[in-house]
Structure 1
Amino acid sequence: MRQPRRPSRRAFAAIAASVMGLLMTSAIAAPAAAEGRIRIAEQYGLGYLPLHVLRHNQLIEKHGKALGLDIAVEWVQLSGGAAMNDALLSGSIDLGSAGVGPLLTIWDRTRGNANVKAIASLNDMPLFLTTSNPKVKTLKDFTDADKIALPAVKVGVQARILQLAAEKELGAGKHDALDKLTVSMPHPDATAALLSGSGGITAHLSGPPFQYQQLDDPKMHKVFSSYDVLGGQHSFNLIWSKQSFRDDNPKTYRAFLNALREAMDSINADHEAAADAYLAQNKGSLDKGYILRLLNDPDIRFTVTPNRTEVFADFMHKVGAIKNKPASWKDYFFDDLHDGAGS
């Protein structure tokens, strides 16, 4: 049997050159392919208005073009900080958004590894604990017959605020006294259950617009505001990413941050347009006048600058929710905002 002919040296050289060319092309193309794609997860409510404005006005795409980049933006809607962090660590999303508590949890968990940090704050907003139980005037009045709905139990910002309030009212070491009454539910579902009296839900710690909708019902009343618990206005929601996303996609990251700043300026300059963007991205029963009422509330502010986040950090470290105590807010924020007067 004839043996197959071996390729000549010239053929070997041609094959090698071809393979090397393919490898070099792949190596060169890989970073370009990585840049230009961003997957962002948002949640329900007015606390995510800057992201709704980004999406509605295609501001990320606009700022990407200014940097010479066509950016494909993918949006996902999740409920609760735990779901956000799971999705980020699994690689399903690039940017997660939720309250201060979940950010501190994932920052603490990923130090020296994924190094997740906050990009910016999304707002300052008060969070109300509301109830339909006429017997509940303070936290001491809750019994085992009550159920308190939260978007995420134990780890979400609402959960941490409830714990802060419990320690303040019930005493040291009592921060988790009400955890046994909490159940995890998305804000829209919890609002519907609370107002209809279904599922045993008697209270809800939420955020705008849900808490205001609830208080429009005469059978509802407010137990506390988070501004009272924390001693003033504070950041509600933040947005964060892994260090690797920021390092590997500098133009995409920059386009997002520039777009977020423009969204903030747009909201603060034109409440009418902001309300239109919110309604376009959130199909529901609220009308424009209702959204404008909230946007005109001086307790609600849209800013990238973190405010009183260190109160959460100190508390979470004290109760063992995070192992590492940050020296300041700058430890868990990327340095883009470090020149600002955050806290």
Structure 2
Amino acid sequence: MAIKQELEKKEKRTCLYDKHLQLGATMVTFGGFDMPLLYQMAGIAPEHTAVREHVGLFDVSHMGEVTVKGPDAERYVQHIFTNDIAGAPVGKIYYGMMCYENGGTVDDLLVYKMGENDFFLVINAANIDKDWAWMQQNAEGFDIDLQNRSDFYGQIAVQGPESEHIVETVLGLPCAELVFYTCKTIGDVIISRTGYTGEDGFEIYANHDYIRECWDKLIAAGVQACGLGCRDTLRFEVGLPLYGDELSEDITPIMAGLGMFVKLDKTEFIGKEALAKQKAEGPAKKLVGIELMDKAIPRHGYTVLNMAGEPIGEVTTGYHTLSTDKSVCMALIDAAYAKLDTEVQIQIRKKVFPGKVVKKQFYTKNYKK
């Protein structure tokens, strides 16, 4: 029984799984799902470049979706969410976190205001079960209808400077009027303009059959299919966090430099007291950018040292960037070394390479605002 359960766990697939196999994708396990890492024999670079310069297509159906409706829906979301959605206009999207009482991060997520006391929450694939259990635990005393719709929705993301034209002409979905971080419905389809790449882009949520139809139309129109590999390089270059690397149960939004999404002037939310205390006193560790003075690549988990050779933290994500041709990383280090231009070192296998603290955004975002 245990072996069967483990096999079933490994075989979780999105509605586009067969499409990825048809395109010859290299598949990997991510967040409990079999997902495409890349499609190109030439590696990640062509997919990354397609999004930066033209347009790319991502399967993000592994993400979770939760709906919150009812008389207390806004009050409930305010209770579990660090950002402030009070009085938000319909169609507005907010980024923020759910936190534990100690300030550690349950997950980072998007909250869509779909209507009065009607919210659509988008959560990370690896955290669906944990998030859902946590949301249910904290729903007591609220008059709400809380539904986990993760199995119903498929989702694709069309990203890049040509995305608006492609969504309108190939899919026939009018989207030009959407501004950054807004959404609308077209029948049962939800379309939003957020993106996780630093480029202009759209997300389309719908039932599985409709998502498969959209995928086929976009591929037939010559849009480049893109895997998780370039999704990570793209989000990293513009300093966007990935849960499990830049945010976790042990990494608070304040430590991660995401305090702008923590509205401490709200009446209450879970974790408020701990986060307010941390912000006032200053966190012991901070997430920073580091640029190496070498072509060596800093990877997740590598040790960051001060100039005396003493450990001060570790790398959360690192690459030799495709857009800027630099070896850079994000790292969680002792706050005393977090000031810009502070000299540090990174241990890469048996060698130590010098670097300096820089801004976490290694490439300029190109969102349409």
TM range (shorter): under 0.3
Instruction: Give the structure with the higher percent helix.
Output: 1
- Structure 1 length as normaliser, TM-score? 0.26
Higher relative contact order (CA 8 A, sep 6+): 1
Structure of greater Rg = 1
- Structure 2 length as normaliser, TM-score? 0.25
